[in-house]
Amino acid sequence: MNQKSKFTISTTHLIMLSFLLAILLGAVLLSLPISAADGQATPFVDALFTATTATCVTGLVVVPTATSWSLFGHIVILILIQLGGLGIITVLAGITLTLNRKMGIGRSILLQDAFNLDTLFGLGAFVKKVIIGTFIVEGIGALAYMTVFVPQFGARGIWISVFTSVSAFCNAGIDIIGENSMIDYATNPAINAITCVLIVVGGLGYIVWWDLIRVFRDRKKGNPLRHLTLHSKIVLSATAVLIFGGALLIALFEWNNPQTIGNMSVFDKLQTSVFQSITTRTAGFATVPQENLSNPSAFVSLLLMFIGGSPVGTAGGIKTVTIVVLFAAALVVVRQKGEQVNMFDRSITRQAVSKAVGVCCMSFGIMFVSTVLLSAVTDASALDVVYETVSATATVGLTRNLTPSLNTLGKLIITATMYLGRVGPISLMIAFNLRKKRPSIISNPVETISVG
């Protein structure tokens, strides 16, 4: 009997492959002389690093973005940022819908996996709302930036505003303002406010957007926030705690540090602390030199970077919902209140808890391996190396001035880390699980072990 062997590729592999192809294409374009400001071909390793940091919306750069690339290079980088923020699969689906073509079941499943959704219903409408909503927010952000950048840079300020708005919303942290990122605007309330709003809105996730619109549109009696889904309640609560808790700790530890905010006014100290707390949530813009932070502030920033933003958004990290579910599950064990994890009068499924554990462990594994490898090829301090690898794993883009000094091996290690961090821990676990086993109807005997 003849059996036809048929090669199949999973949706997870397709998502990972789409990012890889976008990175490689971007690297080729950026390595061309037309992409460089001086008209000379850029070394492919540097072009690959830049294409990866843009597509993975990370923000770590080995060469200054503002002065190293031509207008063509900046356009390529901006397109990669937009593709990375929305997701390549989302953009392709949007093009399909624009051409008035129906999405097949295959592309619908791809989108379901890309957005980590639990249903195929209404995906076409969801994609349309995501793309339209993204362009509206980025457009408003660009117009707001123009009030500052056009008076300062003239007509060039329009392009700077558009680039910065897209980068901020996508939590990329790449700018073309100058070589100092946003350090020159540390005490500018308008730039701080616009950037923070774009970062937070992008990091909340599209699911929360539509949920907030729904409850305020329905105008139900009482507090409308009570009618939010459990997911939105967790995201909004965790976001508020992380932003204000992080800002409070950073202000406390940096208040008298003359190398960061010590010489600022009280208002400027507070707004700079809030910005640092928000930008560590995978945005990557810097208004204070990260290498000048005190050790306590650096460790607070590490925690905020590792957590990151929220699911189905533009931010990276293990996500707010993941850390909240893990914390809630730990409390159940500590308080010995059964096995069910409850929040906001709702129960969390065991599958969600298991997934949270998997995401956290896989992310930590990527970070640990990257830290060990980078430590082996650089003489930098342990704190600087960990800061670099956590920033790359969580696609943040903040550095303690280590990125520009990386050697070739270091650049390749961080490039791989950014890619693995962007495609996601769950995608990696599925991709590496090549052996497909049928579920067994026979259970193994249960035996008690000692834990902790």
Work out the pLDDT band at 273, boundaries 50, 70, 90. Answer: very high
Q: Which residue has the higher pLDDT, 211 or 251?
A: 251
User: What average pLDDT does this structure show over 113-135?
Assistant: 68
pLDDT band at 109 (very low <50, low <70, confident <90, very high): low
pLDDT for 389 equals: 96
| β partners of residue 343 | 346
**Residue percentage of the chain with pLDDT more than 90:** 56
Ranges assigned E (strand) in 91-174: none
Average pLDDT, the chain: 85
Identify the band that residue 255 occupies on the pLDDT scale cut at 50, 70 and 90: very high
Residue pair 116/312 in contact (Cβ under 8 Å)? The answer is: yes
- pLDDT of 225 reads 72
Are the C-beta atoms of residues 115 and 129 closer than 8 Å to each other? no
Residues constituting the chain = 452
Q: How confident is the model at residue 129 (pLDDT cuts 50, 70, 90)?
A: confident
45 in Cβ contact with 408 (< 8 Å): yes
Helix (H, G, I), strand (E, B) or coil at 343: strand
pLDDT band of residue 271 (cuts 50, 70, 90) is: very high
3-state secondary structure of 208: helix
Per-residue pLDDT, 263: 94
Question: What is d(CA 372, CA 1) in angstroms, rounded to the nearest whole number?
Answer: 52
Lowest mean pLDDT among 94-98, 127-131, 154-158, 340-344: 94-98
pLDDT class of 7 with cuts at 50, 70, 90: very low
Query: Residue 249 — pLDDT band, cuts 50, 70, 90?
Result: very high
Rg (CA), the chain: 22
Confidence band, pLDDT 50/70/90 cuts, at residue 390? very high
What pLDDT shows up at residue 341?
Answer: 86
Q: How far is CA 323 from CA 233, 298, 427, in A?
A: 14, 20, 18
Provide the 8-state DSSP code for 438: P
| 399 or 215, higher pLDDT | 399
Residue 218, amino acid: D
- The count of other CB atoms within 10 Å of the CB of residue 66 is 19
Residue 3 has pLDDT above 70, yes or no: no
